[in-house]
Structure 1
Amino acid sequence: MERRRVGRSGLRVSELGLGSMTWGRDTDELDAAEQVRDFLDAGGTLLDTAASYADGDAERVIGSLLAGKVDRSDVVLVTKAGIRTDDRPGAAARPGAKVVDASRAGLIDSLDASLERLGTDHVDLFLVACPDPNTTLEETCSALRLAVTSGRARYVGLSNHPGWAAARAATLLEGDVGLAALELEYSLLERGVERDVMPAADALGMGLLAWSPLGRGVLTGKYRRGLPADSRGASPHLAAFVQPYLDGPSSAIVEAVATAADGLGRAPLEVALAWLLARETVASAIVGARTPAQLRTSLAALDIALPYEVHAALDDVSAPELGYPERW
């Protein structure tokens, strides 16, 4: 598996990353261990998680694997903070409600708890999960600087932030810590990052980590004929996550991918990943497999290079709407 540099930083990651959003909930430790084994055997390194995944259980699963089955030096460990459960006394009316908290105290406390669950003294990349309208970007960046200078994180970045925020954060951290990475949703079904995030990343030397590169599973083609009973789209806690891409415009893109896949003798999933990995700014595409079998199908996509005509056709059918000022 190809190793790619994350922007202009010294961090290098595998072109395919392994996500853990379902670990500790839909994926048990045995299946997670098998996924990690297959991923490492294929040359993968980037293991992506978050404090909020399964309320910390995803990190606990990874910590258990690092304690016995996986060498810490074999993985590039990424975690995210900034979304937490609201456990204040007055929050009893909404038990388990999630709140955004990118304050200095919130981020550092979350990182410390993550390190404890992961059983390590540092992560390779620490990301702020989403914008916090109640905290200044200056304060958030001060937490990122502290994460690096204290040795808790080797590199830092942002997730799900717009281009202006990425540019501002890069300026605030310029000269010492730096902003290495941006993690955002990016696929043939969601190309919004091309409007302003990718230009900002290109100009300021940040690498892009793409989450949900298979359009929340829809680009596999599994939903073309209905809603499989064992799919995320039929899951009580993930149905709303998949639903936005089960509409007409998305279906047209899925059919184009399926047509291209038939012509190439490959699976739709492989075509969708190959299209994404050909984008220059993308350092890694993070796939979140529920089962080891699902992961193996993603790993099989790494040997395909799309013909120019196919790539151009997929570009056209999925092109995002651009207007002023993106297009002058």
Structure 2
Amino acid sequence: MEQRHLGRSGLRVSRMGLGTMTWGGDTDAETAAAQLAAFTEAGGTLVDTADVYTGGESEQVLGELLDDLVPRDDVVLATKAVARRHDGPFGGGASRGALLRALEGSLTRLDTDHVDLWQLHAWDDQVPLEETLSAVDAAVRSGKVRYAGISNYCGWQTATAATRQAIVPGAAPLVSTQVEYSLLERSVEREVVPAAAHHGIGLLPWAPLGRGVLTGKYRTSTPPDSRGASAQYAPYVDQHRTDRAARIVQAVATAAEGLGTSPLVVALAWVRDRPGVVAPIVGARDVAQLKGSLAAEEIVLPPAIRAALDDVSGLEFGYPEASR
């Protein structure tokens, strides 16, 4: 698998990341192990989790697999903090105390002395940004974090945080931002993508398959074993089950038929090669589904197909974005 630099840093990661949001929940330890083995055998290195995924079980399962199944040094280990884990003064949020406490918990569950990429999971407007970022700097200086990133920041938040890190002597630069980005969700192109490009921050798209809708499996019905049929995840999927989405899914299906591949591969290849994108984060129900995503490594979309998909899914840009 091709390796790419994460932003303007020396860190190289595979151009596809393995998401673990359901590990320890819908995805049991045996299936997680099979996924991790298949991913690393294909040359994948970036594995992404968070302290709140399945109440910490995702990190726990991943930590038990590292070294036992895959050498720790063969994996770029990424996790996140900020989201609320439990009640109490240090149970969530972006205060210095809460963040450093969250990092210690992640290291324990992951059974490691450092994470390669530590990401702020969300902006916290209840905490001064300087305090939040001072915790990131302390974590990097301690050696427990190698690189720092953000997630779900809007454009001005991305630029503000990156600027602070650039002007404060000794501050850790932000090398990545993880945001929802797919043919069905291109809003980040208005402000986040240009802000990230200006500050040398690499994009890590989550939900690159439009929460599963771009695979085409919801075109005529809701498969009983899909997230769309789950009481927990149905509202999450339904956000992208619109008339506009149906037109885009049809275009993806047509392109896939012409290329002799799957809609999943077409949708993933499209976002993977967007400007600024380093590695889409892909989750899977099982190994077969993951291997379907890994097949995108063999595909480069022809310019005509890429242009058609750009056109059917394009945003309307107004002032001031259109004046750039």
TM-score when scaled to structure 1? Answer: 0.95
Quote the offset at 1:86 in angstroms: 3.7
Corresponding residue number in structure 2 for 1:92: none
Corresponding residue number in structure 1 for 2:2: 2
Quote the offset at 1:167 in angstroms: 1.2
Corresponding residue number in structure 1 for 2:139: 147
Partners of 2:68 and 2:310 in 1: CA distance: 44
Partners of 2:87 and 2:273 in 1: CA distance: 43
Q: Select 1:128's aligned residue among 120, 144, 151.
A: 120
On the 8 A contact 2:92/2:99 being kept in 1, the answer is no
Q: CA-to-partner distance for each residue in 1:14-69, whole Å, 9 max, x for gaps? A: 00100000100000011000000000010000000000100000000001101521
Q: Select 2:151's aligned residue among 141, 145, 159.
A: 159
Partners of 2:153 and 2:312 in 1: CA distance: 26
What SS is found at the alignment partner of 2:322? coil
Quote the offset at 1:311 in angstroms: 0.2
Corresponding residue number in structure 2 for 1:113: 105
Quote the offset at 1:88 in angstroms: 4.1
1:1-328 pair list within 5 angstroms: 1-88=1-88, 101-174=93-166, 175-176=169-170, 177-328=172-323
Quote the offset at 1:274 in angstroms: 1.0
On the 8 A contact 1:104/1:139 being kept in 2, the answer is yes
On the 8 A contact 1:115/1:122 being kept in 2, the answer is yes
Q: CA-to-partner distance for each residue in 1:85-136, whole Å, 9 max, x for gaps? A: 34249xxxxxxxxx86111111111111000000001000000101112112
On the 8 A contact 1:220/1:269 being kept in 2, the answer is yes
Partners of 2:84 and 2:109 in 1: CA distance: 15
Quote the offset at 1:190 in angstroms: 0.5
On the 8 A contact 1:15/1:284 being kept in 2, the answer is yes
Partners of 2:130 and 2:314 in 1: CA distance: 34
On the 8 A contact 1:67/1:119 being kept in 2, the answer is no
Letter in 1 for 2:272: L
State the superposition RMSD in angstroms: 1.3
Q: Which ranges of 4 or more aligned residues in structure 1 deviate by more than 3 Å?
A: none
Quote the offset at 1:321 in angstroms: 2.5
TM-score when scaled to structure 2? Answer: 0.96
What SS is found at the alignment partner of 1:180? strand
What SS is found at the alignment partner of 2:84? strand
Q: 1:251 to 1:100 in 2, by over 3 A?
A: farther
| Percent of residue pairs bearing the same amino acid type | 55
On the 8 A contact 1:3/1:12 being kept in 2, the answer is yes
Quote the offset at 1:303 in angstroms: 0.6
What SS is found at the alignment partner of 2:316? coil
Q: CA-to-partner distance for each residue in 1:171-224, whole Å, 9 max, x for gaps? A: 211253111111111100111111111111111111111111101111111000
Partners of 1:227 and 1:206 in 2: CA distance: 37
Letter in 2 for 1:69: L
Q: CA-to-partner distance for each residue in 1:134-189, whole Å, 9 max, x for gaps? A: 11211111111111011111000110001111111112112531111111111001
What SS is found at the alignment partner of 1:173? helix
Partners of 1:57 and 1:276 in 2: CA distance: 29
What SS is found at the alignment partner of 2:66? helix
Quote the offset at 1:307 in angstroms: 0.9
Letter in 2 for 1:12: R
Partners of 1:241 and 1:10 in 2: CA distance: 35
Quote the offset at 1:320 in angstroms: 1.7
What SS is found at the alignment partner of 1:166? helix
What SS is found at the alignment partner of 1:327? helix
On the 8 A contact 1:100/1:130 being kept in 2, the answer is no
Letter in 1 for 2:157: A
Corresponding residue number in structure 2 for 1:93: none
